[in-house]
Amino acid sequence: MSSSKLNPRESGSYIVENAKHVRILPAGIEKLTQEIVKGLIEKRIAVENFSQHELHPNPNPNQPEDYSKAADWVFVLDTLNFCFWTPDNYTKYKVDGYTGYFALCAAIKRAIKEGVDVINPKFYSQIDLKTLENIFRSDDGKTVIPLLQKRLESLHEVGKVLIDKYEGSFENVIKKAEKSAVRLLDLVVEEFPCFRDEAEFAGKRVSILKRAQILVGDVWSCYKGHGLGYFNDIDQITMFADYRIPQVLVHFGSLEYTSELMEFLKTDTILENGDPREVEIRGASIYIIEQVRDAVVKILKEQHPEISLDNVNSIVIDQYLWDYRRRHNADLEHIPFHKVLSIYY
């Protein structure tokens, strides 16, 4: 990453130092740390959780074609992993009963079952709007997946780069990174503009990189940290700053909004991508999870040497908190969240 641009961890710290609308509360970070430690001890937090989900690819090392195809599948999912809500209804878009990100997964899996070559860049680099709309058709037959045109543009953009520079395979991008998660992150951001989730904040260029980081995290998770998914610096990837995790952070008392911001969020007004309030909420989320991760590692080293630290990182913490929000939706729904119509999350 160029020296003029802060990486996500640095961005989180810088944003919190200069924040005017959010506060970090150490007692809440401590509470969250205990929740994560407990989850790791009880094995509720584990890298395996990703491929155990029926909608995710589950690569088989004994079938080479199937094994590398999983990387292309994950790449398509994370190219399209943004904005599943409409301003008037957050769960209106459904596929096979699933909402949000899992509706996307269900649509892609359905297309594969129907024989659509949806994870092949030769196909999706030239896909037309009507075909894409059909792939993403919803259960009610009326609701269209949000930002359909942007999804088309994103697929065309990334597909063309893969064909022109990487022999049509995301596996080759992963291999070029030479087992470095940070190098893969940089490559994704350099090569595929639709992953450049950055902002100007308090005089500096900050990077949040939600989808680029989740792509690296998903490759690691999908391959359970082995083979194509082995990275020697996976601990350098931060959490994936979206609009749902902050609800959990507020719930645990680690993140607090000023009364002005809280009142604003309750109005359900849609923010522009890059608004300082949005950047502060997302930057604070990264900062808090990094603090939690560091504290968890310290406790495990001192009190639970039997737990391997190989798979203890911000990725599994993020996945756990994201699932926590879905499981405890009724308890968390009173906490307002920021809303941005964006391709970045």
End-to-end CA distance of the chain: 21
pLDDT band at 60 (very low <50, low <70, confident <90, very high): confident
* Residue 92, pLDDT score: 81
Cα–Cα distance, 235 to 76 (Å, whole number): 24
DSSP 67-86: HHHHHHHHHHHHHS-S---B
pLDDT more than 90, % of the chain: 81
Q: Identify the H or E element spanning 248.
A: helix 245-251
Catalytic residue set? 242
Strand-pair partners of 340: 271
* Residue 52, pLDDT score: 64
pLDDT band at 1 (very low <50, low <70, confident <90, very high): very low
In angstroms and rounded to an integer, the radius of gyration of the C-alpha atoms of the chain is 19
pTM of this prediction?
0.90
- CB within 8 Å of 23: residues ≥ 6 apart: 255, 256, 257, 258
* Residue 90, pLDDT score: 67
Mean pLDDT of the chain: 93
- pLDDT over 60 (residue 3): no
CA 56 to chain centre: 14
Residue-wise pLDDT for 170-218, tens only, equals: 999 999 999 999 999 999 999 999 999 999 999 999 999 999 999 999 9
Mean pLDDT throughout 266-280? 93
In the three-class reduction of DSSP (H, G, I as helix; E, B as strand; rest coil), residue 318 is classed as helix
- pLDDT over 70 (residue 94): yes
- Tokens representing 39 are 């989850």
Quick one: which of 336, 239, 342 has its CA closest to 282?
A: 239
Q: How many CA atoms are closer than 13 Å to the CA of 308, on its beta-carbon side?
A: 4
Residue extents of the structural domains in the chain: 8-45+63-83+147-333
- pLDDT over 70 (residue 51): no
Residue-wise pLDDT for 160-170, tens only, equals: 999 999 999 99
Mean pLDDT throughout 12-22? 98
In this structure, how many other beta carbons lie within 10 angstroms of the beta carbon of residue 14? 18
Residues in the chain, overall count: 345
Cα–Cα distance, 195 to 78 (Å, whole number): 9
Quick one: which of 315, 339, 36, 16 has its CA closest to 185?
A: 315
Cα–Cα distance, 341 to 323 (Å, whole number): 22
Mean pLDDT throughout 285-306? 96
Q: Identify the H or E element spanning 200.
A: strand 198-201
